[in-house]
């Protein structure tokens, strides 16, 4: 901890604000502040402007609830996408991760979190009602819902909850595959991952 008794107030304030960010402690924060002080003012100003326009210029997509500049978002507005196939994710960043694969041509639904009783997050705090409404209102009707919540306790709980609540709508509900990650080491894979990888083993295509 850096004693703030003698630190000029703007420095202490900037350190204080930066320390509120996850993974940034007071030491890192003070290193960042003194770094910025050594740079031309334009750099701190550009960063400052970018941060303030985050909330000012962004909105949540009225359809899929991802973060967007235009409403509906670019994916929801894209006629080329398959609007009968919805991939359900926890956070906007997950959309970008999945988009990078180029494997999915449907649309998304961002829950904005996962069910986590420990953190007091229940289904009512997520965009689940909105998903159900989307399923109900969709013409032509949804053909598949891919559950792409995280492979964690919270993500699994959320996926399970969704599968149950979506059951009456007779839609094909799928879950992204669990298995050993590419480049990973079987020796170090945990047993649940490994049993999933075994359970869902696939025909290996030889030349």
Binding site for a copy of itself (CB under 8 A): 2-3, 5-11, 13-14, 16-18, 20-24, 28, 30-37, 41, 43-58, 67-69, 74-75, 91-93, 95-97, 99-100
Q: How far is the CB of 59 from a copy of itself (least distance, A)?
A: 9
Six token digits for residue 111: 């829950």
Closest CA to 176 of 194, 196, 204, 195: 196
Q: How far is the CB of 166 from a copy of itself (least distance, A)?
A: 26
Closest CA to 158 of 88, 62, 63: 88
- Consecutive H or E run containing 45: helix 41-57
Q: How far is the CB of 37 from a copy of itself (least distance, A)?
A: 6
Shorter beta-carbon distance to a copy of itself: residue 110 or 135: 110
Shorter beta-carbon distance to a copy of itself: residue 37 or 198: 37
Shorter beta-carbon distance to a copy of itself: residue 16 or 130: 16
Residue 48's CB: how many other CB atoms inside 10 A? Answer: 12
Q: How far is the CB of 158 from a copy of itself (least distance, A)?
A: 17
Q: How far is the CB of 12 from a copy of itself (least distance, A)?
A: 9
Shorter beta-carbon distance to a copy of itself: residue 25 or 122: 25
Q: Are 88 and 149 in contact (CB under 8 A)?
A: yes
Shorter beta-carbon distance to a copy of itself: residue 9 or 201: 9
């Amino acid at each position: 901890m850096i004693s703030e008794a003698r630190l000029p107030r703007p420095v202490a304030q900037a350190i204080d604000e930066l320390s509120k960010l996850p993974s940034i402690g007071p030491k890192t924060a003070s290193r960042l502040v003194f770094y910025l002080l050594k740079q031309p003012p334009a750099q701190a100003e550009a960063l400052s402007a970018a941060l303030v326009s985050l909330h000012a210029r962004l909105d949540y997509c009225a359809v899929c609830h991802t973060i967007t500049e235009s409403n509906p978002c670019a994916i929801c507005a894209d006629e080329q996408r398959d609007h009968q196939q919805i991939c359900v994710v926890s956070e906007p960043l997950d959309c970008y991760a999945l988009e990078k694969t180029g494997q999915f041509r449907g649309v998304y639904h961002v829950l904005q979190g996962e069910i986590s009783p420990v953190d007091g997050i229940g289904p009512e705090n997520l965009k689940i009602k909105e998903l159900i409404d989307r399923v109900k209102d969709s013409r032509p009707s949804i053909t598949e819902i891919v559950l792409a919540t995280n492979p964690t306790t919270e993500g699994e709980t959320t996926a399970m909850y969704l599968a149950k609540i979506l059951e009456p709508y007779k839609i094909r509900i799928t879950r992204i595959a669990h298995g050993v990650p590419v480049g990973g080491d079987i020796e170090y894979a945990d047993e649940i991952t490994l049993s999933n990888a075994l359970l869902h083993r696939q025909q290996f295509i030889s030349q």
